[in-house]
Chains A and B, each alone.
Chain A
Amino acid sequence: MNDTGDIDWAARNTVVGKRLARVDAGERVTGTARYPADMKLPGMLHAKVLRSPHAHARIMRIDTGPALALDGVKAIVTANDFNDIPVGATIPMGEAGYDMWMVARINIAKDKVFWVGQPVAYVAATDPHIAEAALDLIAVDYEPLAAVMDIDAAMAPGAPIIHENVVTTGVEQPPHGHHGPSNICSRTVIERGLPGIAMEAAFATTSIEVRIDTAHQGYIEPQAMLAAVDANGMATVWASTQGQHTTEIMIARMLDRPQSRLKVVPLEIGGGFGGKIAIHGEAACVRLSELTGRPVRLVLTREEVFQGGSGPPAAARHRITVGAEPDGSLVAIDGLYHMDAGGLPGLSPGLMMQASAALYQCPNLRLEGYDIVTNKPRTEAYRGPGGIQAYFAMEQAMDALCQRLDIDPLAFRQRNAAVTGSTMPIGTPFPSIGLTTILDHVARHPCWTDPLPTGDMPRGRGLALGYWRGTSMTSACQISIAGDGRPMVTMGSADISGTRTTMAQVAAEQFQLAIGDVHVAMGDTKSVGYSDGAAGSRLARTMAAAVVEASTKALDVLRSRAARLLQADPGALTYAKGTFRQAASSGSEISLAEIMQATLTEGAIIETGVSTKLPLGVEVGAHVADVEVDSETGQVTVLRYTAFQDVGRALNPAAVEGQIEGSVVQGLGWALTEGFDYGADGRLRNASMLDYRMPTALDVPPIDTVIIETPVPDVPYGLRGVGEVPIVPVAGCIANAIARAIGTRVTEMPMTPERVLRAIRQSAS
């Protein structure tokens, strides 16, 4: 469903901004879209992964002999078959680089295992059943060590140490009085004004402490890959990845393989959401292919994906305290954030901390965050990483403050809202931001103005905001002009959110052609320039800039060829809808097709576009939900849900709605039902889609979306990021609705019936 607010989409007469079907939808509905698990090559071997049965153990010995002797087993690799990546090694990726030691260890354990499911060996065999049988024949001697399974246990004095080489960074006083190894990997502090004094002097304060379980991105396609090394040593990997170039770098580093001898071909990706940025077996498949001379395919099972074979988003424990004047003016925010990184350090909480407080103008704030290791799978990104967890805490604290002051929660946000130029948590002025416009839309929307319908059971209406900074980084494309004059766009990045469609719209607009006259494809790493991955809500914005640049350059070349063919001055030609015309009265003209028919054999037209350091397009959303709570069972039913989001400009409103609706439903899942349940032995007890309960069509209402457009200056079409922020407010929004229904706060997420019921009973007693 869609409520378009003040925008009249039908009046849009440009290709950009139109509601158009995906250009790649035909393959998807006919089963012909190709994902790596669908690929098969002659002589192909099947790989399987031996995974750690222990949460924490030293690997004493691995004997692959009996497994190698099994008929049909062709090769086995362990840590010794990979480059020895040192702690602290990074690869270039974005502003901060990417932790290559982490990538290495999520792909293969060396000396120690840090979680149940960490890979220990990979087998390649002629048949998947044989590869599976071989796993049982690999003998591994472990020395089991005590494990720590949550933040509290990891931080306790005397806790078993997971990494002997990790010493807490960012502290003057070490946590346990000595500078020895610790499970507390880093501390980050952001402070402005005099938060302690301001909080003390505040008229009213509220404080909330929340605990959030580890969850999962829940992409339906398990990781899958196919690698083939040819007789000349050239390796090709067909991957389901959010970034073909970054995947190439990771594989190359793990194998010490020259990048010129490695090509990554992106195929369709069956959902990623942050979980398919890092590689999960690709390097091993290349090594197995090198050893056997045969193609090797690896397809993970769902149990593997959940049980340590992929990186879930982080569990967390946050405490937020906020203080205000009687009129609701915020005076201080104090946030204490603990993020559970899983088995390897490096989950920097700084961006998430800033994001959590970004939407409020507040003169005094102190944000303190910790990166903690536990014996769980190393966490990876999930749609605005850390955002939904932080806003579950922040928006509940703000809502509780509104209740304390008896102030309308929307009026409270309007009073304290960040605006363009106001001070961000780190002290710099806010770039273009349309929060107050969003709040004005909420104020006049029926989801807010309609009275909450009464029912037999308690009901409540919640409001929450969300912010995500996003990033820009590098995107590249090239445009070649086909012999019939049509532009062919090749992107250096993967398509996880309909980017081929939106870029076809951008190119069609630049060339003034119909979208069907433009072709857009994902390129492999040897045919198009370096691009960072599809992550950080960056791709449509930055790739649009690259497509605009390449289109402009290609049209310039076409113009000069047209001028020569028409014997005219290039500057005297006008271009419209695929044809160059002489402005003068002679009236001669030439189409792109005619230009190419006449000049193709002179040489191709291939032009590139590269976008780096595009201005940020920060994302802001506001969500409103009505819920009903069964006070007998604790079951929460979402009755109505409306998401408002400023997207700068919607390249394709149908695609924007698709991102928002899907994102909200993912958020509802984590808010209400999705949580990993780890036993004390480190084993995940709900490693199936039956027991890890993602929303079905019966569990969620239709999601209403309201698209708002506040363009970002100096960005093509004024685009903002879209894909991440719509998950950020969801859990806080539902929690606030629940609190207003039952009169008490649920501070554990997911807010399962059991936890809601416990909160109801505790408040009654």
Chain B
Amino acid sequence: MNRILMSCRVNGEDHTCLADPRDTLLELLRERLQLTGTKEGCGNGNCGSCTVLVDGAAVCACLVLAGEAQGVEVTTVEGLAASGGGRHPVQQALIDHGGTQCGFCTPGIIMSAVALLRENPDPTDAEIRHAIAGNICRCTGYEKIVRAIASAAAEIRS
């Protein structure tokens, strides 16, 4: 199949590459741009492991065709540290609160949490749980993740 020329802005850098028209945004990020921090857990938009920010909104990268990402601005987990020069408070809080175990869902959880805190800097526990309801974690039972996000929110507000 003929390759398509793709241009988009990822983590503040302009990228141009050849992609297969069947590629998803997730495959574009992982296989063409070597940004492997974003994970594939299901490929159907059910697990949230591939959550990235597209023009600021949290979306499952496996549900977006690469071709649809032409000209958009994408932020992945790799882009959080770069923009802030260090770890994002959500990243640090997950470390401090034991909110990451196997780590496979973690990048997606982080991106959902970052999107939440941009919209709602002072979420309730219920709002946090709602925001990450599309991210399946099989290791932690969620409570330590919820505590971490609440703590990160407090950190950002202070």
Contacts and interface: CB of A to CB of B under 8 A. Distances in A.
Range of interface residues on chain B? 35 or more
Interface in A278-325: 299, 301-303
B43 A301 contact: yes
Interface in B105-153: 105-107, 110, 128-130, 132-146
B87 to A, nearest CB: 7
B101 A27 contact: no
B141 A700 contact: yes
A673 to B, nearest CB: 12
Interface stretch (A29-37, A446-454, A714-722, A754-762): A29-37
Contacts of B1: 129
Contact of B101 (A35, A299, A497, A688): A497
A703 B44 contact: no
Interface string A4-29: 00000000000000000110111111
A129 B102 contact: no
Contacts of A299: 40
B113 to A, nearest CB: 11
Residue from B44, B49, B143 having most chain A Cβ neighbours under 10 A? B143
A79 to B, nearest CB: 28
A29 B91 contact: yes
A697 B132 contact: yes
A689 B77 contact: no
Interface of A is mostly: loop
B104 A220 contact: yes
B95 A31 contact: no
Contacts of B146: 697, 702
Contacts, number: 175
A299 B39 CA distance: 12
A635 to B, nearest CB: 17
Interface stretch (A258-266, A548-556, A659-667): A659-667
Contact of A29 (B34, B100, B139, B142): B100
B94 interface: yes
A654 interface: yes
A31 B30 CA distance: 11
Contacts of A269: 102
Contacts of A498: 101
Contacts of A696: 132-136, 142
B141 A661 contact: yes
B140 to A, nearest CB: 5
A698 B130 contact: yes
B47 A689 contact: yes
B37 interface: yes
B138 A694 contact: yes
B41 A221 contact: yes
Contacts of A658: 98, 101, 139-141, 144
A22 B103 CA distance: 11
Interface string B46-79: 1101000000000000000000000000001110
A221 B96 CA distance: 23
Contacts of A22: 95, 98, 100-101
Given A21-B95, A220-B41, A30 B101 contact: no
A131 to B, nearest CB: 13
Contact of A30 (B20, B87, B135): B87
A646 interface: no
Contacts of A271: 102, 104, 138-139
B33 to A, nearest CB: 12
Contact of B104 (A35, A40, A129, A702): A35
Given A40-B34, A658-B140, A697 B103 contact: no
A40 B27 CA distance: 13
A127 interface: yes
A661 B78 CA distance: 29
B140 A661 contact: yes
A697 B129 contact: yes
A34 B36 CA distance: 8
Contacts of A220: 39, 41, 47, 49, 102, 104-105, 136-138
Contact of A654 (B34, B76, B98): B98
B81 interface: yes
Interface string A217-234: 111111000000000000
Given A25-B95, A35-B39, A220-B49, A30 B139 contact: no
A662 B78 CA distance: 26
A702 B20 CA distance: 44
Nearest to A127: B20
A663 B141 CA distance: 7
Nearest to A698: B133
Contacts of B15: none
Nearest to B90: A29
Given A30-B78, A220-B136, A38 B143 contact: no
A478 to B, nearest CB: 25
B100 A688 contact: no
Given A30-B37, A219-B138, A703-B141, 11 more contacts: A29-B91, A29-B94, A30-B78, A31-B35, A221-B39, A221-B104, A222-B40, A269-B102, A496-B102, A662-B137, A700-B141
30 contacts: A21-B96, A22-B100, A25-B94, A28-B103, A29-B103, A29-B107, A30-B78, A30-B87, A31-B38, A32-B78, A37-B39, A218-B136, A220-B105, A268-B102, A270-B103, A271-B102, A271-B104, A301-B43, A302-B41, A302-B46, A498-B101, A658-B101, A663-B141, A688-B46, A689-B47, A689-B136, A697-B128, A697-B133, A697-B142, A698-B130
Interface of A: 1, 21-22, 24-35, 37-38, 40, 127, 129, 217-222, 268-271, 273, 299, 301-303, 496-498, 654-655, 657-658, 661-666, 688-690, 694, 696-698, 700, 702-703
